[in-house]
Each structure stands twice: as C-alpha cells, then as structure tokens.
Chains A and B, each alone.
Chain A
Amino acid sequence: MPFDWMKIPYSLLTLFIVVNYGFFLNALIQKMGARAGRRYGIPIWQNYVDMIKNYGLRSSITHGAMFYLGPVFRLSGGVGLLLFVPTIYGSYMFSNLSFAGDLILALYFIFFGTLGMALGAGESGHPHAAIGVSRGLAQVSTAELPFALAVFAVALQYQTLSVTEIVAAQQGGFLQWTLFTNPLAVAAAMLGFLGSMMRPPFDVVIAPQEIPIGPPTEYHSAYLALMQTNRAIFPIAKIVIYMNLFFGGASDWPTFFFKVFLIYLWSAFVGVVFPRFRVEQSIRWFLIWAVPLGILSIILV
C-alpha cells in the first residue's frame, strides 16, 4: 500500500489542535476544581506560561541516558496514542495514522510512555520517583481492568476491533451509542477512567503532598516541558478512545470539543467530591466496584 504523504501534515494539524485544546482544558478543569474548593485557581493560560518557562530554563542536568530518554518516551507515547486513533469520524484528514493498527494497538501503546517515563524517573535515583512508579503501576493494574473488560465487551458487541467501525456502528442518533446499548460496559469503563486521570480519589501516585510530584520528581526544564506537553495530549488522546468506543465518536470538531470536555469533567467532578484512597484501597475498590460491572457486561453482551 503506497503511503499518502499528506497524512503527515494532516496528523500534525490534529496534533496542533489537540495540544492547544489540552492546555486549555487542563487549566479549565483545574480552575473548576479550585472553584469547587472555594479557591480562585490558575489563569487559563498558566500552562502555556509554565511550558515556555520550562523550555527557557538555562540550568539543566541529566542523571544518565535513560533519564534523558524518559520524557521522549513519555511524549512519544502520548503523540503515538493520539495518532493511532482516528480523531474525527468520517474525516480522511483527521483519521491520522490509524492504518497502522486497530484498537488493540492503541490500548497497548498507552503503556509505552508510562513505561519509558518510569524507567527514566528510575534512573534519577530519587526514591520518590520509584515510590510513585510503584504506586502508579500497582494502581493501574486494576484500574485498567474494568476498561479492558469494557473494551472487550464492545469488541464483542460490534464484532470488530477497528475503531472506525465501532464508531460507525454507533451512528444514527445518540440512542445508538454504546452508552445506551451497553450501559454496563460504559459504567465499568468510566469507573476505570477515574483511575487513570491522576485526580482524587486516585491521585496517590503523584501524591502532591507527601512525595512531591511522584515519578517526575527529578525532571525539570526541557524534560518537564516535554512531559507537560504530554500532559496536554495524553488525557485527550485517551478520552478520544472513550469517546469513540462509548459515546458515538465525533464527526466534527465542535462535537469533539464538547464530548471531550464532558468526559474530562467526569473525573474532575468525582475528584472534588471524594478524598484520596491509598493504593491498596483503590486496588480493592476497582476489583469490588468496577470489575464486576465489566464482567457482567461481557457476559450479557
């Protein structure tokens, strides 16, 4: 199959839109969380300022090769995840690089960045980094489970692993969305979603109070800037998958922005209401509350 070189600028365009929307959304959600806690919150452009500052920092150190590569892994993971999934349904322009693989590719590529960043953080030799990673891995192993079950339920339901085909099957009114055709799977997935958004009650991984910022402890300057860029892309990329699988996808950018915002809000909404779990508590929580829903969705589909 000849490669269409136009895919590259198109993909970069998607990337550009998502990065900016991500910066905006991160700040917006953070601000909403602050307001719920009766605080004023950050300015909406704060993330841009932070990133420019970090790129501009002159002092820069490294702990070794893996430390250096950690943020590269991290951001590659985010960018790859975004580009392996079509962003806008029905649009060739924004189908990105999804020809390379289906849903399973995206699911497993999620770990690419996590793993690389964890390794880089590990080389810094800072115990907080290792503590954060050990917590994060422990938590994600069960938080991903309800999501994986839901994905499997959806794949069973539509008998395909292609994201495009899954979205196609949900067209024709919102009642066709997986949300309504397979509510159990969506419920399980949305509970699992909470575990991967680094918000309370599942934010012990970065544990803002006790182990300042967890895995990225030693990262600064351009490293941190790279990771911040990823923080703008990665949640959106992940939400795109949720949106495509469960909420009918988006056939234009406004729908996209709206749906992504609502899904993102869900984690903030829960986060401002509930206090934080310890890791073993969240492991049990996912196994007790989310996983049975996922199992039911698989059996009943």
Chain B
Amino acid sequence: MVNAIYIIVAALGAAFLLGLLKSEKRGTAYVITLFALSVMTWISAGWVWAFVMERAAPVDFLTGGTSPPFSINFRMGLPEAVLTLLASLTGLLSALYMKDVLCALGQRAMAVLLVAVMALTGIILTRDLFNLFVFFELAIISTAGLMLLSEDARALAAGFKYLIVSQMLSVFFLIGIIFAYHATGTLNIDGMATASLGLKAGGAIAFFFLFIAVVAELKPFPANGWGLDIYESAHPGFAAIFSAATSSAVIYAVDKLLLIGGAEWLPMATGIGVITFLAANLFALPQTNDRRLLGYSSIAQTGLILAVLGQRDILGDNVLYIAGGLLLSHAIAKAGLNWISGLVAGRELPDWAALRSRPILVFAFVTFIAMLSGLPPFPGFYAKWEMVRILAGEGRIALIGLILLGLLIEAGYLFRWFGYIIKREVPAQSVRCSPFQISAIFVALASGWALGFVWGELSNQYFGHDNLLLAIPVVFALTFLLLDWLPAWVKNSIAIVGLSLFFYLTFSDYDPLRMIFAIIFLIGGAVILLASYDSKGRRIGFYPATMLMFAGLILLIRATDTFGFFAAWELLTIGSYFLILRGKHSEPHALSYIIFSLGGAFLILAGFALAAQGAPLFNIDALAQLTQPLAPWVFLLLAIGFMTKTAAIGLHIWLPGAHSEAETDVSPMVSGILLKAGLFGLIVLLMTMGKQQLYGVELTYVMLWIGALSALLGNLMAIFQEDAKRLLAYSSIGQMGYALFGLALMNHLGWLMALMFVINHYIYKSMLFLSAGGVAKRTGTRDMYRMGGLITLMPLSFIATLIGIIAVSGVPPLSGFGGRWIFYNAIISSEYRLPMVIIFLAGPIAFLYLFRLIHTIFLGQLKDEYRKIKEAPFWFILPQMIYVALLLAFAVAPGVALRRVDTYLNQIFPGGGLQWTGTEISSAYGYWNPVAIMIIIAVIFGTLFAWLLFVNRKAQKVKQFNIVYAAERPYRPETTHFAWNFFAPYRKALGFLVQPFATRFWDGVTNTLHTAADISRRLYNGNGQSYAFHLLSFVVIAYLMRMGA
C-alpha cells in the first residue's frame, strides 16, 4: 500500500507547485489541484480497500527516521482510512463543485483548499499532540482563508470572528500541551495514554485545556455562534468541507484525546454532546435561512456523535459501527445538502421549491434528510437502533430520552423543509447547475445508498439482522424509482401484480391472525390500486412511496424479531408520509403525521430496547418472558407508540388532516389499510405481554378507556364536519377506538370483534373514501353542503355510500351488525362496566354523521352548477362495486374469514369462542343466523316493495322543486338544501365535549418549543466579543462542572 504520508505530501507538493505557476495558468492550476486531491482520495481509498477487503492490520508510519516519542508518527487504521477518504473525497468533489469560483480566484485559493484538506487528513492521521496542534492551526488558517471564497459580504466578518475564537482555543491547546508534556515527558498521544496523564500532578488541568480546545472546535453549545456564522456565509462548496470533513476530523481528534483522558472524561463528552445536540436542534426550529439551518443541524449531529463517543465505556467495539454510521450519514448528507444549497438562488427555506424542476435533486434531498433523521435503510438507522439498544441495556434511559427528543425535533424541521420543497410555489429563479455540481451531489447520493447497504451487511454480520436493502419488498419498492419514467398505468399494473404475486407466494406462511392482515395489506392494497388507474401521466414519485409503504406493512407482519419489526414500522411510516404529502393542501398535515409517527416510532424503539436488555437479537415472542418491574414500562412505551398510529384520542390530531387532504386513491390506503398497522402492533403486544400492571393500575383497563373515549369523541367530532373526507377521517378515529376497545377487553370475543372491525373498516372505509373522493373530483369541492341531490347523477357512488353507511352503523343485515353482536357478547363476559357506557353513547352518534354524509351529498336539493356532472370515473367505481360485493358476501358468510381465527384465538384465550353450527353462530349468551336474517329481510322488503309497486304503479316522477312549500317553488336550491351545521342542536348540547383540547395541547407544545428557541437564539447576536464571551463562559462552566466536582 502507498505510504499514508503521501496523502499529505501530495497536497503540500501540489500547493507548492501552484505557487510556481503564472497567475494566468488557472486552468492548469485547477487540473493540478484536482489531480492532487484525486491522488489523496485514491491513496485513502486504497487503504480502505486494504482494511475492509484484505483485513490488513493498522500501520504506523514514522517520520524523521526514529520511533516515537522522538519523532512524529502517523497511524493508518480503518477509521483513519475511512476518514481521510471522506476528507479528501469531499475536498475533491467540492473542488469540482467550486470550479468557477476557484478558477476566478486563482491558484492561491486552490492552494489554500489543498492545505485545508491536507490539514484535515493530518489531524486524522497524526498520533503526536503537538503535530495535532500544528494541523489544527493550519486548518484554522486555511478555513479563514477559504471563507473569502464566498460572495457573501458577511463572510469576512465571520472569518474574522472565527480567527478570534480559534486563537483563544489555540492558546488553551498550547497551554494544555505544555502542561501535559511537563507531566508525562512525551508528546505522543499513545505515550500519554499509557502514562495516565490524568493521574499525574497537574495532569487533569492539562488535559482539561487540551480537551476543551478540541471540543470547542466542534462548536458546542453555547460557544458556537461563530460556527453558525461560517455556515451561513461560507461558499456552499466550502461549507460542505467544513461540515463534512472538518467536523469528522475534529471528532476523530476528540476521540484520540479521550484515549489520553480515559474513562473519567467520557461523561463530560456525553454531557457536552447531548446538550449541544438538543440545543442546536431546538434553535434550528425557528430558522428560515437554509444555510444557517444546515449549520445548526451540523452542530447538532456532531454533538450527537460526541455524545456517542462519550458512551464508549459501554458501547465498546460497537462505537465504531455506531459513531461511524452517524458520522458518515452526517458527512454525506451535509455535504450533499450544502452542495444543493449552492444551486438554489434564494436563501429562504421555501425557495428550495425550485428543486422540483429536477426530480433527481428532490430525491437526493430526501435521501439526505432521511440519513440525518436516522431512517432506514441508511447507516444512521442501524446506528440509532444499536445505540439505543445498548444504552437501554445499561440503563441509561435519560440519555435515550434526550437523544430521541433531539432526533424528533431534527426530523421535524427537516421534514417541514421537505414539505416546503414539495408544496410551495416554485420561485422564479430556477435551479442552475453545472454537470460538475450535479455529479458531486450524485456521488454523495450514491454513497449514501451504498453505505446503507454496507451498514445493512455489517448489521447482518455482527447482530444477525436482515439487510433491509436485500428484503424483497423493499427492493421491489425501490425498483419503482428506476421505473418512474414509465406511464402510471404500467407501473400500476406492475404494482398490483407484485402485491398479488407476493401474497400468492407467501400465503402459506401466515397464521390465521396474520392472514387477515396479509389479505388486507396485499390483496386489499391491490384492490385500492385499481382506483389509481384513473391517474394519467407518469405520476412521478407515487409508486415508490406507495410500494415502500406496502413493503413496510408486509415486512411488519413477517417480522419475527424486534429489529425487523421496527425497521418495517419506519419504512411504512416514511412511505405513507410521502403518499400523504402528495395531497394538494396536505403540507402541514403530512408534517404533523410524520412527527407523530416518528414520535410513536421512537417510543417503540425505546420499548424494544428496554425489553432486549442489551441482547442484539430479540424475538418478538420473547416479550412474553419479561417480568416486573420492566414489563409494564415496555408495555407502556409500545402501547403508546402503536396507539399513535391508530390515532387514539389525544394522539389523534394528525389524522383528520392527513387522511382528508390525501389524494383520492391515497385516502383509502392510509385509512383502510395503514391504520391496521397500529392495530397489528397492539395485537402483537397484547398477545405476547398480556395484562400488565403499573403502580397497581391495569394498563389494559386504561386502554379500554382510551378506546371508549376515542370511539365517542371521534364519532362526536365527525358529526360536526362539513368536509366529507374529514368526516370520514374522524369516523376512523371512532372505529379504531372500537377496535382498541375490543382488544383491550382481553377476551376471546373482544379480539374477534376487533378483527371483525379490522376487516369491516378496511372494506367500508376504503369504499366510502373512494366514493367521497369521486364526488369531490366531479364537484370540485369536499364541502358537503355545497353538494346535494347527486343521487340521480351519481347512482353508483350513492349505492356504495348507502351500503357503506348501513354497514358502518351496524344495522342488520350487513356485516357491521356482526361486529356489534360480537361486541355485546364480548362485554357481557368482561368484568369492566363503566367504559361500556361511553361506547354505548358512541354507537348511535355514528348514525348522525352517516346520515349527514349520505343526505347532504346525494339527497336534498341539486344545485344548478352540478346539473351536468357525470358519475365518478370508472376506475373509482370499480373497486367500490367490488367492496359492495365483499360487504354483502361478508355479511352472509362471516365464517369464511372469522372461523379459523376464532379457532386460532383459542390458543390465546382458551374457551369463550363462538359455535358455528351450519349457518347459525352462537355464543354462551346469544345467537344469530346471518343467512336467515338476510333472507327474512329480503323477503319482507321484497314483498312490501312489490305491494307498493302494485298500489302505486301510476306514480309519476316530479321535478326537483315540486314540493309542498307554502305554494312556492324554491328555485334557489342553495337555501332549500338543509345541510350546513346539520346538527346545530347537538353542538349546543354537547359541543363542549369537542373543544379541541388535544389540538391546543400539542399546539402549545410546539409553540413553546418555537418561542423558547426563538428567544434563546438571540444569544447569537453576531458580535465577535459576545462569541468570545460565550466561549469563555463555556470553558468556565465546563471547568466548574468537571474539576469542581
């Protein structure tokens, strides 16, 4: 392998060479620069190859002909190789990216760039403390120089402030070196480590100076105003280096120093790291300037990695995997994002909507923010999982909480930003970029995905988890990224065939319980996708998102260990987020969806981690073996996480907007199918853990109440909606409340009822959403009071809605009744009585919103502007008619779906099931015969209908306004259609129950966060003296915390 010193030599030599060139030879100079950077990259890459593929041992390179401590030595190991590759590759790509500005400024700028990259590689490679100092100085000076590349007028001031702060740090560093040398007699880092610097007289203070000087380079809170100014005003090409390479190098320097300091300095690193992580993320919330936001995010990410380094006492060998995953994710994402920021003309976040003209850039953006947020399948995800797992195993719960909170806030502002890109108006100035710039971003994008694969493989190798990028459903979903150029109908066919085929190939794998979910997810998904044939054009981005959601769903029911389950959970969350975001006005709703979902996911993560107690592979079934005092806490975390997805009351505020603003064919997917993921989670949880008590409170009893209240308040809120899809969305909250209630009853029939609701809700809610969506498509509005009298124009939609509402309301003979019947039988055998009262109240309220839905849309007075509208498109009607048939079939023969599950449930709740004799179904308490009911009602109805037809055979159809109306013709249907605020008396009587307490609460939380962030960020007033003061106070506080203790 090439001697690592040549990395430095190449940069230095080229920099000297540049000085010899005439100033007009800029092209040549640029080529030399690129060449030098390529050589550095090539050497580093060679080492990475050697370490990874050939399992080479770390090598020390000596300088000056003698061994340390008498000379400086460089070490090349796997981390060094990866980091030098990172630094030099970032340098190379940034140089490509900055071609114009570098050529304009000439070879001096190029020389400074080379020196900067060289200094960073030096920081990474050197094992000598003073040499480290020298490289630091070089990095500082070259950074200040590179700041001048920017066209931003503030860059000069920012560079100057940086110099002030850096010089203070240098002084600390030097003092530290002097003391440390005095104490140990060596400057070699490994030598100092063996000499146990901390134990020597004055050693601790010496190390404090060293440590604080290097850590402060990571821009810890609050001493980071200067760093933000650099991020904000630097050229994006340089900001990429500063964020990706400089941070990584300094992090590694901290890591080396911690070798000297030993274990007692780790808590301090963790403390500084996690506080910085939280504070920077919090302050990023109110940011509107893109580069400053990226700066905050960079600071936060380095803080997180510092915190991880501080946990190396328990992370052990995994620290490389975890910190490395986080660091590389951060570096690639930040480099990419900074590069993209150079292509966007405006500096406000919504200006990034310009990216929409280049889908590949949008894809790059979303890849980068997914990497930063630690979402699958990127390294950050694996790192997050292992980190939380190990921390939980060691009982460091508070730290987990802080880290997850920070991650949530970060995901919040990153996804808000993504929402701007997708939804905001495209600014006049479009994206302008050269092929060089695009290729830099493309390399970052490709490496992000490649690293995702590598980390997946490592995860498989070390922890036995599956590589997500090799899971067939995920591969299938990602294939649609490549197929996105095809017309929508082709992709739709592939998707439908894919879902059905996967079901065909795997259906023998599922137990009866999972079979219900598999059918709903795969076959049910395929049926809803029929509606997507209505979309014309290419529908860019729809299919990858949809199929990612389905991939997550199907992996969820196939998961056997907690890792697979959680990964699937996150996949389906991201997929559905992209889907929901596609709606016209769904930006804020998609954001609240992803925040709630990720919040819930983090609780699940924490729950699984707690349960595993550090074990790398934890089977879901093993949840059953958990004991007090751990078990109830695990239960609580998981239950809240799953209930976030089922939109249990209090956690429901994301649902109405997300479901109603989604596209017509997306609403049924996210409502009819996606909600079931939460129920599946709850089923798995309750099946394994059963009843749990926390401080004497039965947790399933609490769930019973939550389910009942969700049912009541969901229904109650639904009746006050004017928007048809919002009404249906609120109704879903109620329906999920019923299902939750059934599960929480913890008896055989309760579960059967919940499963009946799962099936029913899928069918009728998908159908109703399609129907309402079809009407909205034709009328151009979702406000029901604007419609009316559409029954003659849209008869098939009417029939679907009619069948739907009869089924939802539980009126015989349709399948909703079966659910109600099982419900009554389930509650008789339950010892809990009070929550039933709430459920009883909820029941009839459903009639109110259901009647309103069908009446205000299809009945009443037809408006003039809609006299010529047509029936909903064929592709919307087709699945609705399939659902009608399904509902009727399920009503007559519920046993087809339920009988096997009923038997299967005997394993969980022995006895208490149903008897299926012929067509009659009976329990210990009652009986019903769906076939008989259907026949009797049909006969009675048919007879009476025939009778009416006979006596009324001459009935004559009259026109719309021919009604008994005080001898008037009400020619203004708008005023005759009784529709708006349909249940006004109800609002007067019970309106106090639907005050938006939950919305106010969550609004309060976000507002408080924003306000706190907005006030605190004024700390950074741009004044160099203030920044110096911040730094000093940071040092003093850190000193008092560490040395005072």
Contacts and interface: CB of A to CB of B under 8 A. Distances in A.
Contact of B940 (A80, A155, A162, A221): A80
A56 to B, nearest CB: 9
Given A62-B957, A123-B791, A160-B925, A76 B941 contact: yes
Contacts of A64: 791-792, 957
A226 interface: yes
Contacts of A104: 820-821, 824, 926, 928
Q: Which of A79, A99, A101 has the most CB of B within 10 A?
A: A101
Given A122-B860, A152-B840, A279-B985, A141 B952 contact: no
Contacts of A156: 828
A149 interface: yes
A284 B863 CA distance: 36
B32 interface: no
Interface stretch (B136-144, B201-209, B958-966): B958-966
Given A111-B811, A126-B964, A131-B978, A138 B824 contact: no
A60 B828 contact: no
Interface string A100-126: 111111001101100100110011111
B614 interface: no
How many chain A residues sit at the interface, stated as a range, is 35 or more
Contacts of A49: none
A298 B831 CA distance: 11
A161 interface: yes
Interface stretch (B234-242, B726-734, B841-849): B841-849
A296 B820 CA distance: 23
B1018 interface: no
Contacts of A140: 844, 847
A100 B936 contact: yes
Interface string B833-868: 110110011011101100110110001111000000
Given A60-B954, A125-B960, A131-B978, A162 B927 contact: yes
B764 to A, nearest CB: 15
A130 B851 CA distance: 10
Contacts of A101: 812, 821, 926-929, 932-933
B647 interface: no
Given A108-B817, A124-B963, A131-B978, A62 B848 contact: no
Interface stretch (B344-352, B542-550, B802-810): B802-810
Interface stretch (B473-481, B685-693, B943-951): B943-951
Nearest to A7: B936
A149 B957 contact: no
A72 B963 contact: no
A135 B840 CA distance: 20
Contacts of B845: 141
A171 to B, nearest CB: 19
Given A64-B791, A137-B848, A141-B847, A161 B825 contact: yes
Interface stretch (B181-189, B282-290, B301-309, B986-994): B986-994
B983 interface: yes
Nearest to B850: A115
Nearest to A120: B859
B65 interface: no
A229 to B, nearest CB: 9
A125 B951 contact: no
Given A66-B791, A115-B806, A71 B855 contact: no
B994 to A, nearest CB: 14
Interface string A67-108: 011011101100110011000000000000101111111001
B928 A80 contact: no
Nearest to A278: B985
How many chain B residues sit at the interface, stated as a range, is 35 or more
Contact of B802 (A103, A119, A162, A291): A119
Contacts of A186: none
A174 B929 CA distance: 33
A283 B791 CA distance: 32
A298 B836 contact: yes
Contact of A103 (B926, B955, B989): B926
A6 interface: no
Given A102-B926, A102-B928, A71 B948 contact: yes
A115 B75 CA distance: 81
Contacts of B862: 125
Contacts of B925: 102, 155, 159-162
A125 B836 contact: no
Nearest to B917: A1
A108 B834 CA distance: 22
Contacts of B985: 134-135, 138, 278-280, 283
Interface in A136-181: 137-138, 140-142, 144-145, 148-149, 152, 155-156, 159-162
B661 to A, nearest CB: 27
B956 interface: yes
A119 B855 contact: yes
A265 interface: no
Q: Which of A122, A291, A298, A299 has the most CB of B within 10 A?
A: A122
A1 B920 contact: yes
Nearest to B849: A137
Given A100-B933, A112-B811, A138-B986, A155 B824 contact: yes
A295 B834 contact: yes
A96 to B, nearest CB: 10
A134 B982 contact: yes
Nearest to A126: B963
A222 interface: yes
B629 interface: no
Nearest to A299: B833
A291 B838 CA distance: 11
A149 B859 contact: no
A223 B955 CA distance: 10
Contact of A218 (B805, B932, B945, B963): B963
A116 to B, nearest CB: 9
A65 B799 CA distance: 11
A273 interface: no
B827 interface: yes
A137 B964 contact: no
B387 to A, nearest CB: 49
A134 B937 CA distance: 26
Q: Which of A66, A135, A160 has the most CB of B within 10 A?
A: A66
Nearest to A121: B859
A283 B986 contact: yes
Contacts of B798: 66
A55 interface: yes
A35 B792 CA distance: 47
Given A100-B933, A283-B989, A298-B836, A108 B812 contact: yes
A206 interface: no
B976 interface: yes
A287 to B, nearest CB: 8
A61 interface: yes
A43 interface: no
8 contacts: A62-B958, A99-B929, A122-B860, A125-B976, A131-B978, A135-B985, A137-B848, A137-B983
Given A76-B944, A79-B944, A280-B988, 6 more contacts: A62-B956, A101-B932, A101-B933, A118-B855, A123-B791, A130-B859
Q: Which 5 A-B pairs have the closest CB atoms?
A: A161-B926, A122-B859, A102-B926, A279-B985, A130-B978
Interface of A: 1, 55, 58, 60-66, 68-69, 71-73, 75-76, 79-80, 83-84, 97, 99-105, 108-109, 111-112, 115, 118-119, 122-127, 130-131, 133-135, 137-138, 140-142, 144-145, 148-149, 152, 155-156, 159-162, 217-218, 221-223, 225-226, 278-281, 283-284, 291, 294-295, 298-299
Interface of B: 789, 791-792, 798, 802, 805-806, 809-812, 817, 820-821, 824-825, 827-828, 833-834, 836-837, 840-841, 843-845, 847-848, 851-852, 854-855, 859-862, 918, 920, 924-929, 932-933, 936-937, 940-941, 944-945, 948, 951-952, 954-958, 960-965, 973, 976-979, 982-983, 985-986, 988-990
